[in-house]
Structure 1
Amino acid sequence: MKINKSIGCTVDECKYHANSDSYCSLDHINVVKHESRAKNQEATDCGSFESK
């Protein structure tokens, strides 16, 4: 698994988490919102998440 040091990640339940370090292994991620207008960090999520 390659590590993308441009994308930090501490969600080790994700299958794209670089197990040896706090980074993502994807080339890019998709950030999504779950409200009609995102006003704070809690209104957004990583849409690329997949469970291990």
Structure 2
Amino acid sequence: MKANKNIGCTVNECKYHAKKESYCSLDHINVVKHESRATNQEATDCGSFEVE
């Protein structure tokens, strides 16, 4: 799995985590909000997450 050095990630439960390094292996991720208006970091998530 090739690490994308442009997308840092520490969520090793995700199937796209680069495993040996703290990066994502995807070419791009989809960032989503789960509130009608995002006003802080907790209001957003990585929509590309898939459990390993």
Find the counterpart in structure 2 of residue 48 from structure 1: 48
C-alpha separation in 2, matches of 1:16 and 1:30: 13
TM-score (ref. length: structure 2): 0.99
C-alpha separation in 1, matches of 2:17 and 2:3: 9
TM-score (ref. length: structure 1): 0.99
Identity %: 83
1:6 Cα deviation after fit: 0.1
C-alpha separation in 2, matches of 1:2 and 1:10: 15
Find the counterpart in structure 1 of residue 14 from structure 2: 14
C-alpha separation in 1, matches of 2:3 and 2:12: 13
Which segments of structure 1 move beyond 2 Å, counting only runs of 4 or more?
Answer: none
